[in-house]
Structure 1
Amino acid sequence: MKTVKNKNNGGVSDADMVFQLEGRPKFSIAFPLGLQHVLAMFAGNLAPMLIIAAVAKATPAETIVMVQAGMLISGLTTFVQLYPIKIGRFQIGSGLPIVMGTSFAFVPTASAAAAIGGIPAVLGGALVGSLSEGFIGLFYKYLKRFFTPLVIGSTLIAIGINLLGVGRDYFAGGAGAKDYGSWQNLTIAFSTFLFVIILQRFGKGVINTAALLFGLLFGYILAFFFGKVDLSSVSTASWATIPLPLHFMPTFDAQTIISFVIIYITVAMETIGNTSGITIAAFDRPATEKETSGSVLADAIGCAVASIFGAMPNTAFGQNVGIVSMTKVVNKWCIALGAGVLVICGFLPKLGSIFASIPNPVLGGALISVFAMITLNGIKMLAQAGFSGRNVTVLGITFALGIGFAGHADAIAGMPTWLKFIFEDSIAATTLVGIITNLVFPNPKKHEASTTDKVAGTTVK
């Protein structure tokens, strides 16, 4: 088939343009690639809000408000990441193909707050806590020495390992499902998984790059014949409503705010890690200071706005970093079309409910290999940093305490409450232990200078 070149984009063909940051491929090529990002994160974007709504015993109407606001803010914050806002010397947004969504990292803390003070207590803690992430974004220039390649690489690995657990549960039918691990769920998941692999191996052009989208469609049809597709929420959902601010009036509690501040530091690290994950996978380099600072600032502002509109805080979604790693599609216009779908879904509950009806085994089959890419990006970053005696010591301590010890409730039962907050989450623990260990075992100045020069001297081309 003859390759058609786009005269409006320097003569570069639409098929090749999807692998470039700038430019506008034609809609028929760009939209499916953006849509697969939405499908990959949609259930994960909804799940934290549904969990918190259940803990807070929210009414169905209140739950719909949270879900709509979550989709709207995710889409708008993604736009800010793609097309940054510049205010003086500060840049809000990274200018990278980052997709934002509701963060699972807040679920334990938000659940505790919701059980006591309901949704208003969650939103109050999230709103004030977002200032801590904004602080990291504003002063990243001075704080970046704490976020070395070893720390970010370790955080990426911890994120990937956690996501693999999520992918495993999706694969088997969803955590807590009555038919968890049933032959029907595994058949759907493995069939979807194999279908995606076949398209990636033998597909050409859009069929190859949008393999995840076609895999999700194939799995959805298969799940429908297995009777696993529940369309009840589609029939009951409203056609259109407008999300409004302050539907829930936030309340403020000191202990809840402190807990949120701790988690926001972790979420900032997730965003820093995922930002570098994008640049490493797509451009084979670490993220620049400007990109990272802008990414964290956009995340912080997005979290604050989400709290005002009644949604849970957001973060850069790891699974979408995995999609970029797998497909190498980095074109911002493609991702923007996906973000537009999220915004539209924020106004159309019925459309959003269709996406939400994708069964867990379908998501697991299509995405479990994507989650693995996050771990591989972390390993790649560690390899670039090198495995000197000092680095091996830092990594050994970080992984031993951050991944091996943290996250196991029985193992940390005797810890003080303030420390338990951190070690309940292996990502938070990996981040904290990595930062402290890097300070205890300082890097030789010569290596620090070469690393800094390498990052500062690299730009997106």
Structure 2
Amino acid sequence: MTDTTYSDPNVTPPLVQAVPLGLQHVLAMFASNVTPSIIVAGAAGLAFGGPEQIYLIQMAMLFAGIATVFQTVGIGPVGARLPIMQGTSFAFVGVLAGVAATMGLSVALTACIIGGVVHFALGAFIKHLRWLFPPLVTGLVILTIGVYLIPVAIKYAAGGAADFQMEAESFGSLKHWSVALTVIVVALGVKFFTKGTLSASGILIGLLAGYVLAFALGMVNFAPVAGAAWITPISPLPYGFEFNLGAVIAVTLVSIVSAIETVGDASATAKAGAGRDATDEEISGATYADGLGTAIAGIFGGLPNTSFSQNVGIVGMTGIMSRHVVTIAGIIMIICGLIPKIGAVIASMPLPVLGGGVIVMFGMVAAAGLNVLAEEKMTRRTMIIIAVSLAFGLGLNLVPTAVQYLPGVIKTLATSAVAPTAMMAIGLNLILPKDPE
């Protein structure tokens, strides 16, 4: 499947090839797409496996599909019209989980809507902002996101995230860790000892193996699945509309970083599939699609969307650049999002199963940040920027009482990990003198 005929994004392989290829794109991103909604729902105090959590999972699938179609089919200037798969972004999890825990989902989702509008507006001049986000800055932000989320993964693997769960006797039990480690071992085994579709689906297969073991150990409750409907209408503003300036600023800052990431994915897709650079129109269209998908998702209870880098790898691996293949993947996600039974099955997944999966996922996010930083020469200036930015970003998040007397908006930003790291990295990179050539 490396025929150069398919280096044109407007060419479609025969359906017997296109449908399996579209499914492969879905399998590669499915677990990563629904995980942020599960984490934010837990932070908001929603019952694990309850109808509200199921609804958020549905919205993650539905609007990943819709945003993907925006990206591949396009509407006017919206959409790169490249084979870019959209999904719920991990970049926003830290900020949104904190906002949801302290202010509620209404504030978090309102911030997503406004952040999406700002993200959309970035499409008009994104190419002029790229100089603010060299690999040093973007790598630091991505690394911070991964490191910030790793403790959440460990808590899930041990059997809890909320205080009452971590205080239970079963927290950290051998049963919980045996399930989590099964997920990790199977996922890594499939990823590195198989090829093609199986390898791309390593995390999903690992989750299925852990799910089976958890079921055998009596950890799975199928009652919510039996009670879930086959079809349900979606609701606009399910938690209302509640504005908070700190939450909006925090989400907007992450949106800018997400936009830069999408620029990178659009460029990588064009390079991997067609051996060329992405055009300005494709980069702007990709950013518009990101923002529009995020804003509309927020209206209905979905979290922010972004391009998924792992799917860029599939384009490079198969050599098939067809955007219509990824459109098929988007349609599959839309169908999944409209069926609550599917969301209920995902929501029935015990925390240790999810924990095993996200240990790998969040670790990979951190590793991706290190990979981006590797593009920078490790001079004394570079190392100081990394050291100070990480110390502020992660330090204030770990010790939030250190800034307890700051006003609410500023405190929210200061303890979000991502925002202070990004602002410190950008500021130091602009202020500190460049190394002599």
Cα distance in 2 for residues equivalent to 1:275 and 1:300: 13
Q: How does 1:63-102 map to 2 (within 5 A)?
A: 67-87=57-77, 91-93=78-80, 95=82, 97-101=84-88
3-state SS, counterpart of residue 316 of structure 1: strand
- Which residue, out of 142, 151, 158, partners 1:172? 158
- Which residue, out of 27, 32, 35, partners 1:35? 27
Query: How far apart are 1:152 and its partner, in Å?
Result: 0.7
Query: How far apart are 1:157 and its partner, in Å?
Result: 0.9
Residue in 1 aligned with 2:415?
A: 424
- Mark the CA change 1:407 to 1:78 in structure 2 (over 3 Å): closer, same or farther: farther
CA contact (8 A) 1:46 1:70 kept: no
Cα distance in 2 for residues equivalent to 1:328 and 1:189: 31
- Which residue, out of 307, 315, 321, partners 2:305? 315
Cα distance in 2 for residues equivalent to 1:62 and 1:201: 36
Query: How far apart are 1:156 and its partner, in Å?
Result: 1.3
Q: How does 1:368-379 map to 2 (within 5 A)?
A: 368-379=359-370
> How many pairs are equivalent?
417
- Mark the CA change 1:429 to 1:410 in structure 2 (over 3 Å): closer, same or farther: same
- Which residue, out of 93, 111, 118, partners 1:132? 118
- Which residue, out of 151, 158, 173, partners 1:182? 173
Cα distance in 1 for residues equivalent to 2:266 and 2:178: 32
Cα distance in 1 for residues equivalent to 2:267 and 2:37: 23
CA contact (8 A) 1:48 1:107 kept: yes
User: What are structure 2's unaligned runs of at least 5 residues?
Assistant: none
TM-score of the two chains, using structure 2 as the length reference: 0.79
CA RMSD in angstroms comes to 3.8
Query: How far apart are 1:303 and its partner, in Å?
Result: 2.6
Tell me which moved more, 151-160 or 353-362: 353-362
2:375 paired with 1:384: yes
Query: How far apart are 1:180 and its partner, in Å?
Result: 2.7
- Mark the CA change 1:99 to 1:228 in structure 2 (over 3 Å): closer, same or farther: farther
TM-score of the two chains, using structure 1 as the length reference: 0.76
3-state SS, counterpart of residue 375 of structure 2: helix
- Mark the CA change 1:132 to 1:365 in structure 2 (over 3 Å): closer, same or farther: same
CA contact (8 A) 2:85 2:330 kept: no
CA contact (8 A) 2:146 2:364 kept: yes
Deviation string, structure 1 residues 49-96 (Cα, Å, up to 9, x no partner): 4654749xxxx7776655544432232113323444442xxx445835
Query: How far apart are 1:218 and its partner, in Å?
Result: 1.8
Letter in 2 for 1:142: H
Residue in 1 aligned with 2:260?
A: 272
Query: How far apart are 1:265 and its partner, in Å?
Result: 1.4
CA contact (8 A) 2:266 2:286 kept: no
Residue in 1 aligned with 2:403?
A: 412
Cα distance in 2 for residues equivalent to 1:98 and 1:273: 13
Cα distance in 1 for residues equivalent to 2:222 and 2:259: 34
CA contact (8 A) 1:110 1:122 kept: yes
User: What are structure 1's unaligned runs of at least 5 residues?
Assistant: 448-461
- Mark the CA change 1:166 to 1:83 in structure 2 (over 3 Å): closer, same or farther: farther
Cα distance in 2 for residues equivalent to 1:412 and 1:291: 42
Residue in 2 aligned with 1:451?
A: none
Deviation string, structure 1 residues 211-267 (Cα, Å, up to 9, x no partner): 33322222221111011222111011111123254566x5454xx145313322123
Q: Percent identity?
A: 24
Residue in 2 aligned with 1:208?
A: 199
Cα distance in 1 for residues equivalent to 2:352 and 2:266: 26
Cα distance in 1 for residues equivalent to 2:313 and 2:397: 28
Residue in 2 aligned with 1:453?
A: none
Cα distance in 2 for residues equivalent to 1:323 and 1:10: 19
CA contact (8 A) 1:155 1:270 kept: no
